[in-house]
Amino acid sequence: MATLALDQASTAETPRTSRFDYKPHPLAKLLFAALLVGGMAYAGWSVLADTRGVGEEMALGVFAFLALALLIALGFEFVNGFHDTANAVATVIYTNSMPAHFAVVWSGFFNFLGVMFSSGAVAYSIITLLPVDLILNVGSASGFAMIFALLLAAVLWNLATWYVGLPNSSSHTLIGSVLGVGFANQLLQAGSRGGTAGVDWSQAQKVLTGLWMAPLIGFGAALLLLFVMRMLVRRPELYKAPDGDAPPPRGVRALLIFTCTAVSFSHGSNDGQKGMGLIMLILIGCAPTAYALNRTLPTSATPAFVQTANTATAAFDARSGGIDMPADQARTTLTSALQQRRTDNPLVYAALDSLSTDLTQRVASYGSLSKVPAEATSNVRNDMYLVLDTTKLATKKPDGFRPDELKAIKDYQSSLEAGTRFIPLWVKVVVAIALGLGTMIGWKRIVVTVGERIGKQHMTYGMGATAELVAAATILSADRFGLPVSTTHILSSGVAGAAVANGQGLQKRTIAQLAAAWLLTLPAAMLLSGGLYWLMLNAVRFFQLG
């Protein structure tokens, strides 16, 4: 394969050592190709089965368009895999705990498992950064231009930083791409609203806080942990460079393999979800009947949904000031409230009361989400989205609600999320395959940077273990709260912190390059995605006029 050949050639610019002198067996290449093709075939078959199962016939052109979009989205996860693999395997390779070729396969397998056991919370925290009008009209020309622009921008920046061997954050890149599309979309909108109205900056602040804190957490925690380790564990061999190609003591080796496994699993559980969220947007745009609503929810869930909705609606009605509002006006009011990030208005509560009542009556009349007819699917999904995100915005300051009202609204939000924010099993499987296989390609460039170019001396067993323990714990904690964080930032800064704690110096040139990549990624990704979005949107308009 050309990619494997590129992988072998990629070390020409970096010092070659015996640890990298391995050529994959031809059968391994064949298995790799079979998994890749099989994953894409499984995705295509699943889409056809899901759409036919709800009576949605897809035109050949739409199916081809969907296939291209899925290919790019899975390509992002594939690039994410080989870009971020170094964060898990550099330590075990440079401490001689595992052979390089075995380490990347091991890491790929646990990346796969991490994706399969992920919660899905991170996937939708990324999507909520997008402008409201693009999410509600994801099947429009502007919606598809948004998806293609942010995916292509993320892939291009990841490939560029990989090519020069910089451990760049895929999370950082994707979030910058999302923000760039949102900002460009609003600048292109006619009207009085400013450019920042197209971006949910409150959600962006939450997400970006995790990203800028990651290097500080990685550096400080690894520094402290290794200091404590040196005081409590008096084994000199832990704090010295390995002797040639000799493996570490058995217990130390087990610890290093465990930390490599933990980082691989946590990386899959967090980073894999970013591709899932984008794939769901693509599916909703191309096949709304099958994917806009969670049709796997049983009919028995409907009475509970109606009950929680009625209880929450009563709380909205109490704050509506007696205003009576038709459903169409309610949709416009809630869309405006989300764009302006303001809900402290009786009109907004009147809109919530009206739209929630109308939505509940429709769902109750259908009997379950699985029975919502095709022509009503988009409206039901959009109404659920508007009510869900407006109530989340309204309850950010819960002081205005009684405890029982707040509980009722939270239960209502959970019901709405169950109906709209879901990940089909096949999406998890194909993302897991893409990320897992990506870990086995192109990893050497970044491994050399992490293993040789951060500290001035060779990585020790203690340095590798502390850096990876910190990375795994931080990422798993972030996954628990639905926050996207950067595996790259945490691990590379953890290696730097451990190097300082071990009495080594840092290579200033590499640290400066890492800092530059960290600072430039957000604006560069924003410019790339915003520019691509503008080009694609204008191209679509040109052909429509022609």
pLDDT in tens, 136-167: 777 778 888 888 898 899 889 888 887 877 66
Rounded mean pLDDT of the chain?
A: 82
Dihedral sign for Cα 530, 340, 211, 447, please. negative
With tokens 């996954």, the residue in question is 479
Predicted local confidence at residue 86, as pLDDT: 66
Residue 245, SS3 per DSSP: coil
Task: Pick 15 or 500 by higher pLDDT.
Answer: 500
For 53, residues 6+ apart whose C-beta sits below 8 A from its C-beta are: 290
With tokens 């925690």, the residue in question is 221
CA distance 245 to 95: 8
pLDDT band at 260 (very low <50, low <70, confident <90, very high): confident
Amino acid at 432: A
Please give the model's pTM, rounded to 2 decimal places.
0.81
Rounded (10°) CA dihedral 129, 130, 135, 140? -160
CA distance 303 to 437: 43
With tokens 């996207």, the residue in question is 484
Dihedral sign for Cα 142, 280, 305, 132, please. negative
Task: Pick 258 or 10 by higher pLDDT.
Answer: 258
Q: Of the given ranges (12-26, 103-117, 285-299, 304-318), which has the lowest mean pLDDT?
A: 12-26
Q: What is the mean pLDDT of residues 301-310?
A: 92
Q: What is the mean pLDDT of residues 259-270?
A: 85
pLDDT tens figures, 515-537: 777 778 888 889 999 999 999 88
The segment with the largest mean pLDDT, out of 76-80, 169-173, 182-186, is 76-80
Share of the chain above pLDDT 90, in %: 25
Residue 455, SS3 per DSSP: strand
